[in-house]
Amino acid sequence: MSLNQGQARLRDLSITVVLALVLSQFGLTLFLFTVPLYALYYSKGVRDLLIATGSTIVLMFLITIWKTSSVADTDLKEALIIIEMLIPVLLMLGMFFIIDIIPALSGLRRLYRLFIATGVAVIVAIPVFRILINNNNFTDVIESQMNMLAGVMTGSNDSSFESEVVQSYLGEEGFWGYMKRFYMKSAAALYFLLLMIVTRISDMLLFRFKQQPLLMLIDFTVPEILLWPTLLVSLGMLVEVFNLVSLGAVSPFIWNIGFILLFLYGLQGFAILRTVFLKFKLPMSLRFMIEMIIIMILLIPGINYIVIIGLPVFGASETWIKLRKSIRST
């Protein structure tokens, strides 16, 4: 390797690590910090990726130690360090599954690698979550903060009907208990969605710089083999919604898998809509308006079930009615 090549390599590694560190230090851009690492892999290879990833983790850990240096309580400090590092480490772990450098998974469809990455992340996160829950100092601080926030939102001394409804919905455990239940039922699905978004952004950037091909949304399809698991977990979700049977420890798995599969079929339904738009040559402004209306409906409680249920059902219908195929053939 010539001196100029070595300098160029060092420059690329330094830029990648700096970009990743900067993005990781802001809440809104945290999930994007792996994008420079993706780009480095496809331009320079595995070796440079490993060097940049290792350097980024070490520097992030040192920054986290510095940020928590003012915390006197040792148990609380350890918990804060774990939380600060958990999401970046899990996203980096997912990255290695997505970029297809693991020999046993080589050639496997990216969607399946996303499933595997999510499963591995859950296996890693469960013992970490138990460590945090068993840290009394940490749970006391978080519980007090959340219950204080809930008191501000609902009005601790407010006896209005709305406040009573919210309090009954939160239950005896309060806001902290509600958040624990929420994360148990959706954490894996949120991780899957986050990993999918990061991958898509990375692919779009690489496509723009002509380094990787890009799968268009209208070509996205859910494997037909996933239809029956979707129906089964949807049934399990309905059973819990209507309080017919308690699913116990299985409940978080049912909900997380259900959210992931419903999202995928919803995405397929959206892809069918895009195909219809292109078939009838709808103006870009009209397409944008329709898509914005769909997003707005999602934000309206109660009415949003039209999209939450309707779009996945529309997507799943392609298992029997090959709508995109018939549209393209005419």
Q: In which residue are the tokens 């929420």 written?
A: 182
**DSSP states along 202-225:** HHHHHHHTTSS----GGG----GG
Write the Ramachandran bin of 114: left for phi over 0, alpha for psi from -120 to 50, otherwise beta.
alpha
Does 75 reside within a domain?
no
Between CA 188 and CA 192, with CA 190 as vertex, the angle to 5 degrees is 70
Tell me if residue 180 falls in helix, strand or coil. helix
**292 CB burial (10 A radius; 0-12, 13-18, 19+):** exposed
As for how many domains the chain has, the answer is 1
Does 165 reside within a domain?
no
Distance between CA atoms of residues 217 and 273, nearest Å: 10
Q: How many C-alpha atoms does 290 have within 13 Å on its Cβ side?
A: 11
Tell me if residue 266 falls in helix, strand or coil. helix
Q: How many CB atoms lie within 10 A of CB 209?
A: 10
Question: One-letter amino acid identity for 269?
Answer: G
Cα–Cα distances in Å, from 235 out to 231, 232, 249, 311? Answer: 6, 5, 16, 17
Instruction: Supply the range of the domain harboring residue 303.
Output: 217-330
Does 326 reside within a domain?
yes
Closest CA to 63 of 41, 39, 33, 95: 33
Does 225 reside within a domain?
yes
Distance between CA atoms of residues 137 and 144, nearest Å: 11
Does 116 reside within a domain?
no
Cα–Cα distances in Å, from 237 out to 7, 228, 242? Answer: 56, 14, 9
pTM: 0.85
Q: In which residue are the tokens 């059902």 written?
A: 313
Does 251 reside within a domain?
yes
Does 253 reside within a domain?
yes
Does 234 reside within a domain?
yes
How do the pLDDT tens digits run along the chain, 330 residues long? 565 777 888 888 899 999 999 998 887 788 889 999 998 898 888 899 999 999 999 999 999 999 988 888 888 888 888 888 988 899 999 999 988 787 778 778 889 999 999 999 999 998 888 888 887 777 776 766 666 655 555 554 555 544 554 455 555 555 666 677 778 888 999 999 999 999 888 888 888 876 677 778 888 889 989 999 999 998 998 888 887 777 888 889 999 999 999 999 999 998 888 888 888 788 888 888 888 888 888 878 778 788 888 889 888 888 888 777 777 666
